[in-house]
Structure formats: C-alpha cells, structure tokens
Amino acid sequence: MEIKLTNDGRNMLLNFVAGNKIKFTKAVFGNGDYQLAEGDKELPRIINPLQSCEFDSTPEIGTEQSVAKLSATFNNSTVESGFHVTEVGYYAKLVTKNGSGEDVEGDEALYAIGNADSSEADYVPASTERLVEVTYDGLVYIGDADVSAVLSENAQYTPLKDFNAHIRDKNNPHE
C-alpha cells in the first residue's frame, strides 16, 4: 500500500520549517474504494472508517531523517463483518508555539492516506471467525520535522518481542 501526503500533510510539513512540530494522533483503517484519478492533487477522507487506534510507539525516524515509521495495532474483537483493509489514514496535529513559548496543538487533520485494491489488501475476519491482532507499519514523509505520537494506553495484547523479553527475564515470577 503506497502512502501519500494530503494537502493538510503538506501544509504541516511547510509549517515545521518555522520551528513547529508534528504530533501523530491516530491511524484509521477502512474498506472504502477510492482511486485517485490521474492529475488529482487532493486525497480524500477515509471513505468507510471501520477501526481507529492510537500508535504503539513514538515514530521511529529513518536514518535519512525524511520518513517516520508509524506503528498501530488493533484487534478485531468488535468487528462484526470481515473486511479488506483498502484504506489507511494517518492523522496528526500541527504543534506551534504561542507568545509565551508554550506548545499549542492545532486541529487534527488527515496527514497521509494509503489505498489498496481489495484483491491486494489484508483481510480482517469477523471476531466470530477468529480473534486476530493486526499491526500496520506505515512510512510517512516528514522531512526533518520534530515528530511525536499519541500512544495507546489500552493495548489488549502484548507484542511478541515484549512477551519474549519477559519470559527470558531471570526475575520473571512465572519461571
């Protein structure tokens, strides 16, 4: 799935040059069927949002400081009908300084969006079929902006790497 900046995302990038920051707030997953027409510049909203979640960790900045890796995990416990993830949206806020030098968050806006054909998209089954956890890693362009993310406090599952570290810990009370 190719991820493209929206006009709001481009505006946030332009504003960071003045010393502002970008704060990623959430990822939204849906099954809308939008195709960007040749020559279109604006990307749409998420057409059919089905899942939304905060990010698993602070964005990892690439070695070239031009992309941020955004990782978001959701489970299908509330999914009543299975769907193909044909659209993913990454939302953010521009953080500016007020006259006192304090951070002021702007309105949340769709920063970047990815679309995929349903024949290539990941399938999320209904919770009655089986319970799954889905993690999406998206690379979004940030230039050399200062970025942060709203992190999920409600993770229902432990990432495998954290679980493995826990069971290898010699102080693990579960032995």
**What confidence tens digit (pLDDT) does each residue in 65-104 have?**
577 788 888 889 999 999 999 999 999 988 888 888 888 8
Task: Answer whether residue 23 shows pLDDT above 70.
Answer: yes
Q: Which of 37, 57, 33, 49 is nearest to 119 (CA)?
A: 33
- Distance of alpha carbon 121 from its chain centroid, rounded? 16
DSSP per position, 81-128 = S-EEE-EEEEEEEEEEE-TTS-EEE---EEEEEEE--TTTSEEE--TT
pTM of the model: 0.74
Q: What is the pLDDT of residue 109?
A: 93
**What confidence tens digit (pLDDT) does each residue in 39-58 have?**
555 556 788 999 998 888 76
Q: What is the pLDDT of residue 104?
A: 87
**CA–CA distance, 108 with 104 (Å, rounded to integer):** 12
Task: Answer whether residue 140 shows pLDDT above 60.
Answer: yes
Up-side HSE of residue 14: CA atoms within 13 Å toward CB?
Answer: 7
Hey, CA dihedral for 159, 115, 140, 26, is it positive or negative? Answer: negative
pLDDT band for 159, please (50, 70, 90 cuts).
low
φ and ψ at residue 35, rounded to 5 degrees: -120, 125
Which neighbouring-strand residues pair with 115?
A: 2, 87
- Exposed e or buried b for every residue in 110-142, given b needs 16+ CB within 10 A? bbbbbbeeeeebeebeebeeeeeebebebbbbb
Cβ atoms of residues 69 and 62 within 8 Å: yes
pLDDT band for 151, please (50, 70, 90 cuts).
very low
Helix (H, G, I), strand (E, B) or coil at 171: coil
pLDDT band for 155, please (50, 70, 90 cuts).
very low
Task: Answer whether residue 146 shows pLDDT above 80.
Answer: no
Cβ atoms of residues 115 and 35 within 8 Å: yes
Q: What is the pLDDT of residue 150?
A: 47
